[in-house]
Structure 1
Amino acid sequence: MNDPASNKAGPAGGFVRWALLAVTLTALLAGGVAWVLGARSVADACWIAGTVAAIVPALWWVISSIRAGRVGVDVLAVLSLGGALAVREYLAGALIGVMLATGQALDAAAERRATKDLRALLDRVPRTARRRTPDGVEVVGVDDIVVDDVVMVGPGEVLPVDGVVLSDYAVLDDSALTGESVPVRCGRGEPVRSGSVNAGSGLELAASASAADSTYAGIVRLARQAAAETAPVVRIADRVAVWFLPVALTVAGLAWLVSGSADRAVAVLVVATPCPLLLAAPVAIVSGLSRTSRIGVLVRGGGALETLGRASTLVLDKTGTLTTGRPRGTDIVVGPGWTVDEVLGLAASADQLSPHVLANAIVREARLRGVPLSVPSSVTEEAGIGVSARVDEKWVTVGNLSIDGEEPEWAAAVLSRASFDGAVVAWVRVDDGLAGAILLTDPLRPDAPRTLRRLRLAGMTRVVMLTGDRPAPALQIGTVLGLDEVAAQQTPADKVARVRAESERAVTAMVGDGVNDAPALAAADVGIAMGARGATASSEAADIVLTSDRLDRLADAKVIARRSRRIAVQSAAVGMSLSLVAMGFAAVGWLPPAWGALLQEGIDLAVILNALRALRGDHTGPPPLSRDAEDLVRRFSAEHDQMRDDLSLLRDTAQQVAAGQSAGALVSLRAADAFLQDTLLPHEDAEDSALYPALARPLGSVEATATMSRMHAEIHRLAQRLHSHRELADEAGAVQPEQSDDLLACLYGLYALLRLHFVQEEENFFVLAPAFLSAADKS
């Protein structure tokens, strides 16, 4: 991940390179003016000054490269400059100096300072801690804490050392360590790790390690070591220079040996000056950097863009990268006598004053569905348990409630479903009874499937997910996205080891967003951070930062990087081939040094114009939509959000039919049929008549939406069949046994078909609208 030109990088290095360009260009132009005015000696003096000004820093860059074990393109530039002075071809030397300085200035633009000091990690490390002693509480330096010391941690503070909980319980935000946003509850005697945030009330812990030996200090060390040990990026120019340098020196030496004239050797070196490498390759890469910046992707240097263009393995974090990182209500299950709106309204009303991430998700869900909320009173919140409040004369408790001894059948089904879905359950108790449950999950980003398909087309042949989350939700996402490998419950050290293993097999890019991802980002060949939510250690450790909270920008950046690198290689290859031809003419004496320098300028101009093609390119993202089409996407997306949870009516009805509850099943069947006939089918018809025609032009043809229209027809067929079953049941006053098999097939078939259809429309069509992605990321 480290750029080999880092010895020239930084504010000081950038200033030197731009100053060098100003000096050499001024010397060349001043000499030209003097020559036109007939002052040949003044012209020579100006050109000598320009040549010397270029050779001094170039010589230092060569020495630095050799110390680092590299021999790059700067060697040829130094030899050409020195040779031009030796044979008194001062104009040639001045021209070479300008070419060298221009290439270095372009590199200065491409290589912005990569802040790999992991400032965010270090800023988070506690400097002091509260230690309880027989005389009270004292504040000491965190390095003074020893094993078995009793440490007190206030609300919102970072745990300074690893330890064991002495309080009755602790509620911790482990997102810095695992990436998971849902706080965890630890009981007395359970081990906890430094770097976690105390998300509950004040707690006490017994230190089990010193600060230096604790978990968070280990993450900081991992990140530093990974950044220091990662192999340097070998730039395009240096790859070509490996073979071009000995060729040029051999031809120059033979020309001198055969002709006995040093002028021919210098002429060879002049036309051998790797200007296509010094100029064309940086122009193409800087053009790529310009394009990425316009789409909200910050690339810290040209080396990072080149590496992204070559990368064939992609390693991704889950939470906040492939998922939104914001829990969302996916299902609401209610007990007998309650409705979904009643349970959700009471729960959201009670949660309105809570800062908890799950409480916020419940409130968002209620507002999304248009459920009216009441102002709560007597609100209390117990960390790790939940919120209790009086709402509309009812005492409501929402959260991680114990239901031991009162687990009704529907609640057991909720627990089973949550285990399969990897969901968190927020139980809702009203007065003394269990009223319902809200299942919350971290949803997949709507642009994730399309983004991964585009990345595979752009050269990513292997995609791996590493997450600190549990195996169940990780494997589900891996299956949906078709990932090559999924590894769950990964610590920061595990992630670093896996990234290094992947890097040994192929050029590897790593994408993450949390503090726990920083070491792995530093270990990857190119680290990419989701940085839209603020400066984090991941952004500091990364080579590339996605400044907008949209994963599809990663595919855009990969496409741009690949094309820019291809143009850079093409420009370098063509330019160096022309230089080889010119070297032949110079070797036989047909091309003197000054004319060789001018010819080299012509070659440079040609390859630079070719390199500038990287500024242009085909549209890399989804096809653009008209404003009317975006408005339609916004409308139908909102309708999806309102209908999504109503789909559970189909599954609940099926469960009652399967259980033989014929009377209750009829009530549910009527509700499901009313939802289909009055809400869902009109929605599908409107999509066919309004949305799909509006998408036909940007998608290329009406055939692009034909499969979705065919699915609409199948939904209509099953809905009509279900309607017929309802009419038969209405006539008989209950669902009849002979209806059960076909009715169950209709119900479960519709449920699965509609869930799939909603996802397909959102991932294939709705994701085309930036407004949809923005709304989805904020939900």
Structure 2
Amino acid sequence: MGSRIPGWWIDAALVAVALGGLAAGLALLLAGRNDDAALAWFLATVPVLLALLVEIVTSLRRGQLGLDIVAALSMSAALAFGETLAGNVVALMYAGGQLLEQFAQQRARREMTALLGRVARTAMRHADGGLEEVAIEDLVPRDRILIRHGEVLPVDGRVAGEGALIDASALTGESVPVARPPGAEVSSGTTSVGVPFDLIVSRPARESAYAGIVRLVEAAQRSKAPAVRLADRFAIWFLLFTVLVAGAAWIGSDDPVRALAVLVVATPCPLILAVPVAIISGMSRAAGLGVLVKGGQALEALGRARTVVVDKTGTLTQGRALLARVEAQPGFCPDEVLWLAASLDQASAHVVAAALIDAAHERGLSLADPGGVVEQSGAGLAGRVDGHEVALGGHGYVRARIAAPPPDADPGAADGAARVDVAVDGQLAGILVLEDRVRDDAASVVRRLRQVGLGRIVLATGDRAEVAAQVAKALGLDAVAADLSPSAKVDIVLEERRTQPVMMVGDGVNDAPALAAADIGVAMGARGAAASSESAGIVLLVDRLDRLADAVEVAQRTRRIALQSVIAGLGLSVAAMLVAALGHLPPVQGALLQEVIDVAVILNALRALRG
């Protein structure tokens, strides 16, 4: 089926007409008014048939051929041969199936539009010893705002004060609130369910995680790409088979009613809707888990994938620097070194500065105000903290500011970790070692992906070979390719596609070409680059790797259910056609039998809504 007549109310009206005509005809038949009953069934069938013919013409203009042609043939033949009751039953079956698909579409749309309704418009900002209500567009990093009980967080930020209790169920599907300590990052779109707390704004509202989710959902709703229907792949062959069996029944018996009976039981109108009902139900289920699926074709491709090509930074790893350890020099303790460095870094917007400040907050350190700060972009910064001259940054930058320089050779940091040297009053105080850690759930997600049939997992990254090898070994991946350019990532994907359907998972701008080249691309999180989210068929709206395994399981289950509907429905229809061709199944009974078959497969398709 191609273009749909817009509006559920039209489908509801067609159902009402078909059902009303059927009831009126039966009442007239019981009253002995046979001709009037036939007229009622005729009039009830015509509007549905006309609506179907409009859809068929629209589909044919787009080069699409569907099984709905069989429904049109059976209704037309029923009216032509005077079997108006059979035609009315087929019309009711068809219109009811259309309405059921609308129900499934509305359900999926509600899952996504529920996200849009949670957008906060204003926030209470601390100013001049009081609170002022401002538009969220006016918030800037480091603003301090009050989050009240039951309020949706308008922007991303860090918890200030005593901590917070956060409900993330709208984004992650989890029902249990999570306690977030002081200094912890919390995401916009989540809800405060504990006592009020202050939030230090991390980024403007337009750059927040929730704003990214809203943009993705709105883009998906504007998309007009038609869903792929598995049943339509068999349409031409099933149509030819139906015409041949109907023609043979007519010629062999010299009875056109036998041909009509074959057409009636071959009318899988709700059956061809059962596949999109399953697909849409699967998309609805995925949306409830925080996974945006951009269409039925994307969901089906995800279910068929057997190889995963995955990026490292921001996908298998946290995607941001985290403090691994503090190597304090004699005369200094680790917390002191971190306290001085983080206090000075409050004047910097560098990503490493944010990591050190977060680490200090996690350790319960109360930072001092820095003064006289001078920053050299990409190298380091220096200033005063609590009466001490502090400098931190790269090895060369700090070495030039201490009285007794360490050896000229830069020892770097093992296993690809980064280092920040810290000098206090002209003396090396310590080294802060940062690393992009593997996600806590990465190993368990890799195991789950293998369990559901993704037997080959390949790491493809632009990072250094030794770093990539360490991650691949820790997670037990099958192959690793490092130092890759964006075009080289595409080559990896194309090479893997030669043997099996490939899923590519990434989050950066450099991943966008590879995401587009794969059978199905999956972008990690709404904070990922816009290019990667646009290139991907599936977007994980929450920054959680386990949602990838959830999405694969939903896609595979949905595809199984859809195939079950196709095979069972068409198989039973073929059996009924043969019985009808032999004269053992009159048109009316055949229509009722076909309705039972189609209702059964549609109910089976709705199982995709459940977990």
- Say yes or no: TM over 0.5: yes
Task: Tell me the amino acid that sits aligned with residue 34 of structure 1.
Answer: A
* 1:263-342 aligned within 5 A: 263-275=257-269, 277-342=271-336
Distance in 2 separating the partners of 1:449 and 1:321? 12
Distance in 2 separating the partners of 1:407 and 1:507? 56
Structure-1 residue corresponding to 2:174: none
Distance in 2 separating the partners of 1:304 and 1:93? 32
Match of 1:529, SS state, is strand
Q: How far did residue 86 of structure 1 move?
A: 3.8
Task: Tell me the amino acid that sits aligned with residue 49 of structure 2.
Answer: T
Q: How far did residue 380 of structure 1 move?
A: 1.8
2:17 paired residue among 27, 30, 42: 27
**Is residue 400 from structure 1 mapped to residue 394 from structure 2 by the alignment?**
yes
Q: Which deviates further from its counterpart, 444-453 or 457-466?
A: 457-466
Distance 1:238 1:494, change over 3 A: farther
Structure-2 residue corresponding to 1:477: 471
Structure-1 residue corresponding to 2:431: 437
Contact 2:304 2:501 in 1 (8 A): yes
Structure-2 residue corresponding to 1:725: none
Distance 1:82 1:538, change over 3 A: farther
Distance 1:552 1:461, change over 3 A: same
Distance in 1 separating the partners of 2:9 and 2:57? 16
Task: Tell me the amino acid that sits aligned with residue 46 of structure 2.
Answer: I
Distance in 1 separating the partners of 2:491 and 2:69? 37
Q: How far did residue 28 of structure 1 move?
A: 0.6
Distance 1:424 1:63, change over 3 A: same
Contact 1:96 1:270 in 2 (8 A): no
Contact 1:27 1:94 in 2 (8 A): no
Q: How far did residue 600 of structure 1 move?
A: 0.7
Task: Tell me the amino acid that sits aligned with residue 30 of structure 1.
Answer: G
Structure 2 gap ranges (5+)? 29-35, 110-224
Q: Which deviates further from its counterpart, 78-87 or 26-35?
A: 78-87
Contact 1:414 1:437 in 2 (8 A): no
Distance in 1 separating the partners of 2:489 and 2:285? 31
Distance 1:400 1:86, change over 3 A: farther
* 1:28-107 aligned within 5 A: 28-38=18-28, 39-40=36-37, 41-66=39-64, 71-88=65-82, 89=84, 90-98=87-95, 101-102=98-99, 105=102
* 1:732-743 aligned within 5 A: none
Task: Tell me the amino acid that sits aligned with residue 422 of structure 1.
Answer: G
Distance in 1 separating the partners of 2:429 and 2:410? 14
Q: How far did residue 440 of structure 1 move?
A: 1.2
Q: How far did residue 413 of structure 1 move?
A: 7.9
Distance in 2 separating the partners of 1:305 and 1:77? 28
Structure-2 residue corresponding to 1:145: none
Q: How far did residue 378 of structure 1 move?
A: 0.8
Task: Tell me the amino acid that sits aligned with residue 300 of structure 2.
Answer: E
* 1:375-414 aligned within 5 A: 375-402=369-396, 408=406, 414=411
Deviation string, structure 1 residues 121-178 (Cα, Å, up to 9, x no partner)? xxxxxxxxxxxxxxxxxxxxxxxxxxxxxxxxxxxxxxxxxxxxxxxxxxxxxxxxxx
Distance in 2 separating the partners of 1:468 and 1:353? 31
Distance in 2 separating the partners of 1:34 and 1:614? 36
* 1:450-469 aligned within 5 A: 450-469=444-463
**Count of matched residue pairs:** 483
Q: How far did residue 243 of structure 1 move?
A: 4.6
Structure holding more helix per residue: 1
Distance in 1 separating the partners of 2:440 and 2:279? 31
Distance 1:100 1:318, change over 3 A: same
Contact 1:102 1:279 in 2 (8 A): no
2:558 paired residue among 560, 564, 581: 564
Q: How far did residue 607 of structure 1 move?
A: 1.9
Q: How far did residue 78 of structure 1 move?
A: 4.0
* 1:504-653 aligned within 5 A: 504-533=498-527, 536-617=530-611
Q: How far did residue 260 of structure 1 move?
A: 2.7
Distance in 2 separating the partners of 1:233 and 1:471? 41
Distance 1:588 1:236, change over 3 A: same
Match of 1:16, SS state, is coil
Match of 1:324, SS state, is coil
Contact 1:276 1:571 in 2 (8 A): no
Task: Tell me the amino acid that sits aligned with residue 613 of structure 1.
Answer: R
Distance 1:448 1:346, change over 3 A: same
Distance in 1 separating the partners of 2:236 and 2:555? 23
Q: How far did residue 289 of structure 1 move?
A: 2.5
Distance in 2 separating the partners of 1:368 and 1:63? 63
**Is residue 495 from structure 1 mapped to residue 458 from structure 2 by the alignment?**
no
Q: How far did residue 383 of structure 1 move?
A: 0.8
Distance 1:500 1:319, change over 3 A: same
* 1:719-758 aligned within 5 A: none
Match of 2:313, SS state, is coil
Contact 2:508 2:528 in 1 (8 A): no
Structure-1 residue corresponding to 2:243: 249
* 1:65-214 aligned within 5 A: 65-66=63-64, 71-88=65-82, 89=84, 90-98=87-95, 101-102=98-99, 105=102
Q: How far did residue 43 of structure 1 move?
A: 3.6
Contact 2:343 2:385 in 1 (8 A): yes
Structure-1 residue corresponding to 2:254: 260
Distance in 1 separating the partners of 2:10 and 2:68? 15
Contact 1:96 1:273 in 2 (8 A): no
Distance in 1 separating the partners of 2:244 and 2:67? 16
* 1:696-707 aligned within 5 A: none
Distance 1:535 1:496, change over 3 A: closer
Q: How far did residue 575 of structure 1 move?
A: 2.0
Match of 2:314, SS state, is coil
Q: How far did residue 527 of structure 1 move?
A: 2.0
Q: How far did residue 72 of structure 1 move?
A: 4.1
Distance in 1 separating the partners of 2:499 and 2:106? 31
Contact 2:399 2:406 in 1 (8 A): no
Distance in 1 separating the partners of 2:282 and 2:41? 38
Match of 1:319, SS state, is helix
Distance in 2 separating the partners of 1:394 and 1:104? 70
Q: How far did residue 82 of structure 1 move?
A: 4.0
Distance in 1 separating the partners of 2:457 and 2:236? 32
Structure-2 residue corresponding to 1:486: 480
Deviation string, structure 1 residues 2-54 (Cα, Å, up to 9, x no partner)? xxx8x64xxxx5x6374652343132123124324534324412211211111
Task: Tell me the amino acid that sits aligned with residue 479 of structure 1.
Answer: K
Deviation string, structure 1 residues 470-529 (Cα, Å, up to 9, x no partner)? 222222111111112222233333333332333342222222222332332233222222
Distance in 1 separating the partners of 2:553 and 2:509? 27
Distance in 2 separating the partners of 1:525 and 1:111? 24
Contact 2:22 2:40 in 1 (8 A): no
Match of 1:505, SS state, is coil
Contact 2:93 2:270 in 1 (8 A): no
* 1:413-424 aligned within 5 A: 414-415=411-412, 418=413, 420-424=414-418
Match of 1:315, SS state, is strand
Distance in 2 separating the partners of 1:106 and 1:463? 38
Distance in 1 separating the partners of 2:411 and 2:535? 41
Q: Which deviates further from its counterpart, 287-296 or 551-560?
A: 287-296
Match of 1:320, SS state, is helix
Task: Tell me the amino acid that sits aligned with residue 95 of structure 1.
Answer: L
Distance 1:87 1:388, change over 3 A: farther
Distance 1:75 1:480, change over 3 A: farther
Distance in 1 separating the partners of 2:21 and 2:274? 26
Task: Tell me the amino acid that sits aligned with residue 312 of structure 1.
Answer: R
Distance 1:276 1:16, change over 3 A: closer
Structure 1 gap ranges (5+)? 113-230, 618-779
